[in-house]
Structure 1
């Protein structure tokens, strides 16, 4: 074949290759268009988590909400008796670096007043037409006897996750317990720790921790309770980090920030010692929320002076109890305090700090102190008799939805346990406060997942007084 005849064939070949490549690109573009339609850049559909009622005072209330993407949020609220006089809160922007969560403060409210509110997100109103309801605390001081109060409390909330859980019988159940709590109409709910259960895959993943909180907030059985009662929380190891996690936990700061994103507590520690501790009052009661993780030395550390609360938090607790004039002072701790025989983590095992605090408490003659704790997967009332002063009581309430377990063999017989108080099943507690000033009465009761009463005990204000303060 003549040499010149090869050029047209080569050019034809190159042209065919180009056409084939162009055809491939056109096919790829067509397929991409099918997967990515023209509106592919449109924002995802907006959804809302919450609302949750947080800390409530006489003239302020905190409302927590979470959007599914960045959005502009504000609350529209009004006194229940004046539905035609709405007020509009400041517009807030939910942001991804805060998990799209917002804690909105409604201020300049009237004491003892029922309010209603709705949530406006990007101009669209969410919530029932009549609005969600809350009531501010009454301004009763120097006016009337302290008002009655009902407190719900519990710990250890395990929500099953077939993807993350091992192939074994599920550990969580009886989610209806939250509907029973809501039906009891408590003024407030105390979450005593292990409020979520991080799985091993979550321990070192802020996104994993956030997803566990989202699972809790979106549980259908919890929705009525979230907005009908005020919520206050501490943590324990399973919602702080890995099992028995302490101040060495490497996501300590991230976990603390996520706690603040998902709860609406009144305070978060001190400027020089941030944490999930703080105090608040309701009626003639004060609550002292403590942080048993952020400053705690490892449980296995061979140091007789190892920290549990740490020096700054411990001094804050002493100062706060000394300053309080409340009839009852509830010290809320993620672990048990008075149990002398358990092999598991507790305050008693940190002997130096334990003896410091209990010795100070007796010497300072602080009246009306009651300890509240969780963690143990069973409920019980402990009593420590103290020479020269009133007995110290600790009420442990656990679990809410996690599996219940009996005490360890070495604590089956426990000198501090009050006879008949041990309950090994899913349960929640109620504290009912009543009576005139100076003669206040606490009724403590345990209820199963259906709301059925299982145990109760009554404490009188006069029985929790140092001798010189008794009438």
Structure 2
């Protein structure tokens, strides 16, 4: 090799290194969301703005791929959500996503009618601060959640924690969360959904009047591939979706909330929820809330600002004989079950997951008459909830709630029979 050739080779190598450093890479994700009978969404973030290529193909027919290309940009913090539609129901798919010289992949199976004859396993949690992981090195609560093989994952807010709900705080917090070991492994191939509560929307116990509310709403949409966000005429993050014989109603208890007007949901969302519950053909209807339905906290359903709206909702459920309705919630840093009377001999059960990483509160002693379970230990800080929804063919069990410690396995199990949910 001559001197000139050598210099040319060195220059070319340096150029390749610099090009690789400047080219976009996968920095966070992928995350799978909004899987239905014929559609799915895949979320991703790149290190710098650039083109993302996603190839989706049936596992049984890998020679017929669907290819989509999207461009990330600084305006959305280099995040993107890649939607796929016109998919085949009850079909296993694999996806490969590439940008620069980085690559990630995952798989999923679209939904279909046969799921109504099977158990559906929900794994859910709330309240995670990336600085507060109590798990041993190389693990996290997310690695343990993955072992439950859930049909879907729901995060119920305070995920991440911020002081003001400003865009720069939320973006940084969401990135840190997605860097925790096990998070991508959990969410890349299991449909994942989210809502916010107060700390990942704004200041503590806030409603939608705080000055960064619009930033918080916009940033949530950047980072969560939910099926939809509110209504065309009403801003928010609420939506509903089906998994087998279970319909989930994800609430927005912050953006439309107005303490002075004593409404958490606002007029449009409240009507949307009531109409959805009344029209639902599903055996189970799950109301997903950031705050508990039974705890008398100022920003919670049983507090002074929102109690009337909660009681109105409960009366609607009872008056229209809507059965199979339960709630799931977070916020409290403790695992609780409330059994709340709603009228006509019916009860509303609210199952609260423990905190994913925050120090737990101790249970109230004695338990209030409307609580049937409460667990919290300051030394057992990585907890989450699980609900197994049983098919109609099971005449004895409607659902099984499990309070799970990432360090100590199942702490408590509670079963409801069809009569408990007026399903008999």
Residues 281, 287 of structure 1: 8 Å contact kept:
yes
Q: What is the aligned-residue RMSD (CA, Å)?
A: 2.3
Deviations 1:116-171 (Å, cap 9, x if unpaired)? 1111325x4612xxx4211111233xxx85222111011101111xxxxxxxxxx4
Secondary structure at the counterpart of residue 318 of structure 1: helix
Query: Corresponding residue for 2:195?
Result: 234
Query: Corresponding residue for 1:352?
Result: 308
Aligned-partner Cα distance in 1 for 2:294–2:213: 27
Asked if 1:67 corresponds to 2:46, the answer is yes
Aligned-partner Cα distance in 2 for 1:178–1:41: 35
1:139 to 113, 124, 131: 113
Aligned-partner Cα distance in 2 for 1:445–1:52: 25
**Structure 1's 380 and 204: CA in aligned 2 closer, same or farther, altered over 3 A?**
closer
Secondary structure at the counterpart of residue 113 of structure 2: coil
Counterparts of residues 12-91 of structure 1 (less than 5 Å): 44-48=22-26, 49-89=28-68, 91=69
**Structure 1's 73 and 373: CA in aligned 2 closer, same or farther, altered over 3 A?**
same
Q: Displacement of 1:226 after TM fit? A: 1.6
Secondary structure at the counterpart of residue 400 of structure 2: strand
Query: Corresponding residue for 1:187?
Result: 151
Deviations 1:50-79 (Å, cap 9, x if unpaired)? 100111001111100111111111211211
Asked if 1:285 corresponds to 2:246, the answer is yes
Residues 120, 126 of structure 1: 8 Å contact kept:
yes
Question: Which 5+ residue runs of structure 2 have no aligned equivalent?
Answer: 1-13
Aligned-partner Cα distance in 1 for 2:60–2:165: 49
Residues 181, 451 of structure 1: 8 Å contact kept:
no
Query: Corresponding residue for 2:417?
Result: 460
Aligned-partner Cα distance in 2 for 1:438–1:371: 21
Asked if 1:366 corresponds to 2:366, the answer is no
Q: Displacement of 1:41 after TM fit? A: 9.2
Deviations 1:17-57 (Å, cap 9, x if unpaired)? xxxxxxxxxxxxxxxxxxxx999996735321110011100
Asked if 1:102 corresponds to 2:77, the answer is no
**Structure 1's 101 and 322: CA in aligned 2 closer, same or farther, altered over 3 A?**
same
Secondary structure at the counterpart of residue 179 of structure 1: helix
Question: Which 5+ residue runs of structure 1 have no aligned equivalent?
Answer: 1-36, 161-170
Secondary structure at the counterpart of residue 346 of structure 2: coil
Residues 421, 455 of structure 1: 8 Å contact kept:
no
Query: Corresponding residue for 1:197?
Result: 161
Residues 206, 255 of structure 1: 8 Å contact kept:
yes
Aligned-partner Cα distance in 1 for 2:53–2:15: 32
Asked if 1:403 corresponds to 2:359, the answer is yes
Secondary structure at the counterpart of residue 183 of structure 2: helix
Query: Corresponding residue for 2:205?
Result: 244
Secondary structure at the counterpart of residue 112 of structure 2: coil
Secondary structure at the counterpart of residue 97 of structure 1: helix
Q: Displacement of 1:283 after TM fit? A: 0.4
Asked if 1:254 corresponds to 2:215, the answer is yes
Residues 335, 353 of structure 2: 8 Å contact kept:
yes
Aligned-partner Cα distance in 2 for 1:421–1:212: 29
Aligned-partner Cα distance in 2 for 1:322–1:78: 38
Residues 172, 403 of structure 1: 8 Å contact kept:
no
Residues 177, 451 of structure 1: 8 Å contact kept:
no
Q: Displacement of 1:390 after TM fit? A: 2.2
**Structure 1's 345 and 134: CA in aligned 2 closer, same or farther, altered over 3 A?**
same
2:370 to 416, 422, 442: 416
Query: Corresponding residue for 1:157?
Result: 128
Q: TM-score, normalised by structure 2?
A: 0.88
Q: TM-score, normalised by structure 1?
A: 0.80
Larger radius of gyration: 1
Judge which range, 307-316 or 387-396, deviates more: 387-396
Residues 118, 125 of structure 1: 8 Å contact kept:
no
Deviations 1:371-421 (Å, cap 9, x if unpaired)? 1110000011110234423221111112011121225x6x75311110x44
Secondary structure at the counterpart of residue 256 of structure 1: helix
Deviations 1:199-232 (Å, cap 9, x if unpaired)? x3xx264122201011111212312102121111
**Structure 1's 73 and 451: CA in aligned 2 closer, same or farther, altered over 3 A?**
farther
Asked if 1:389 corresponds to 2:345, the answer is yes
Question: How many residues were matched structurally?
Answer: 400
Aligned-partner Cα distance in 1 for 2:405–2:156: 17
